[in-house]
Amino acid sequence: MPYKALFVLCCMVLSESFSITMIFPFLANMVLDFGLTDNLDEVGFYAGWIASCFNIAQFSSSFGWGWLSDKVGRKPVLIVGLAGNFLMIILFGFSKDLWYAILARSLNGFLNGNIGVVKTYLSEITDNTNAHKGFSIFGLCWGTGLIIGPSIGGFLSKPSEKIPHIFPPGSLLDQFPYLLPCIASATVTLLGLIMGIFFLQETLHIKKDKEKEEDPLVPKAKPNEIDIEEVEDEIDINNTRAICFSFFTSREIMITTLLYSLLTFHRMMLDEVFAIWAPLKPSEGGISFTSSDIGLIYAVAGASGLVSQFFIFPYFVDRFGTLTMYRWSSFISFFLNAILPVVSEIATHGTWAVWLSISAIFVLFSIINNFLFITVSKPNPPHTHSLLHTTVGKNDYYYLKERWCDLEGISFKKLISLEIQFSCLKNLFVCE
């Protein structure tokens, strides 16, 4: 296992998931600070577009970045993506109006097509003996970013209100109250960028062959000799085409892809809607959470999810089986979505009751979501293993995942105006 390259890739993945989710806890407050409206319906609508424009832009450019990585190499594309992420996330922190925020967020997504390329790179540096370990570590780092991102976003936003003795009124971070979490996210990205520049090796075999041909120390082959590597490359291309064709004819893979995309839609939508709903007053159907409260809930839930992944999930899968676990997890997830809005009624009984209820729901959400994602991603039939390795490893269901996330901004307005009562209906669709 090439651990040095894997560590660099993990830093890249961590920065990606960090920057995507970091804005959720303070998104509603940011829209209110823009002064566009005090109407709750409109706040949810605008916040939804800020959150979704990243995915829309990333989806529109992902295929182009993938094509470019096949032409110029994996490393240059990854470096450009990290540099774009570093620059745009800082510019987003200086947002003072809606269109500036949407532009910065859109450029961030457009310049960042790294997830697909990272998974391609990972599949190229691993083989059948260690690919499962590499992708497991990859998933762990992505999940870590999902924990750290919202937590940091919640704790570091509006620092002049939380620690005025360090960031006094009139300071830079008082004028731009959401810059500090963006700087934290950019720091993580900068770490991945530096490590990528100095420690990441190119894996594109076409570029390696070209570099060998240009190296005077490499002897040239005689005209009548057979280029074994060229023949092997042609065989690999033919095999890849056959596997890609089999992807569309395999019922198991198509169902798995659909389930994965629906689960991703569910997870992203829940995170974004909760960040808009939680700051509302109990009289408005919310629970009066601050951005720090939201960040703390995400941190507790995320840590619970990581623990369950290592200690709880293996036991239940061994005891009940993968399919049974998926069905029960979907069933429980439906009821968790349905009871979440009811917590606003508990707010009248005191803060401790709200915290106890929300913590319990989100811890269960995190554990159940882990069960769902792991079971739906777990390769089952032996004859589909190579198919899964290629399609998941190189594409990560990229199209479906990002396309579903793009719909969330449109749905925000109605979700907030109906106090998230449609959330349970959406999850029923996922379960079915």
Give the pLDDT confidence of 357-406 residue by residue, as tens digits. 888 888 887 777 766 666 555 544 444 444 444 444 344 444 434 444 44
Per DSSP, the three-state class of 235 is helix
Q: What are phi and psi of 317, to 5 degrees?
A: -65, -40
* 187 confidence band (pLDDT: 50, 70, 90): very high
- Alpha carbons 121 and 70: distance in angstroms, whole number: 11
Tokens of residue 398, six digits: 């990229």
* 190 confidence band (pLDDT: 50, 70, 90): very high
Tokens of residue 386, six digits: 């190579």
Determine whether 125 is exposed, middle or buried from the number of CB atoms within 10 Å of its CB (0-12, 13-18, 19+).
Answer: middle
The one-letter amino acid at 39 = N
258's enclosing H/E stretch is: helix 251-277
* 425 confidence band (pLDDT: 50, 70, 90): very low
Contact at 8 Å (CB) between 52 and 405? yes
pTM here is 0.72
Contact at 8 Å (CB) between 153 and 272? no
194 Cβ neighbours under 8 A, 6+ residues apart: none
Would you state the torsion angle of the CA atoms of residues 187, 191, 193, 199, taken in this order, to the nearest 10 degrees?
Answer: 180
- Alpha carbons 257 and 251: distance in angstroms, whole number: 10
The one-letter amino acid at 144 = T
Contact at 8 Å (CB) between 22 and 393? no
Q: What are phi and psi of 2, to 5 degrees?
A: -75, 85
Determine whether 357 is exposed, middle or buried from the number of CB atoms within 10 Å of its CB (0-12, 13-18, 19+).
Answer: buried
Is the model more confident about 102 or about 5?
Answer: 102
- Alpha carbons 196 and 134: distance in angstroms, whole number: 17
Report the chain's mean pLDDT, rounded to a whole number.
Answer: 74
Among 264, 272, 266, 204, CA closest to 397: 264
CATH fold, domain 3-204+246-431, is Growth Hormone; Chain: A; (1.20.1250)
Q: How far apart are the first and last CA of the chain?
A: 39
Is the model more confident about 101 or about 346?
Answer: 101
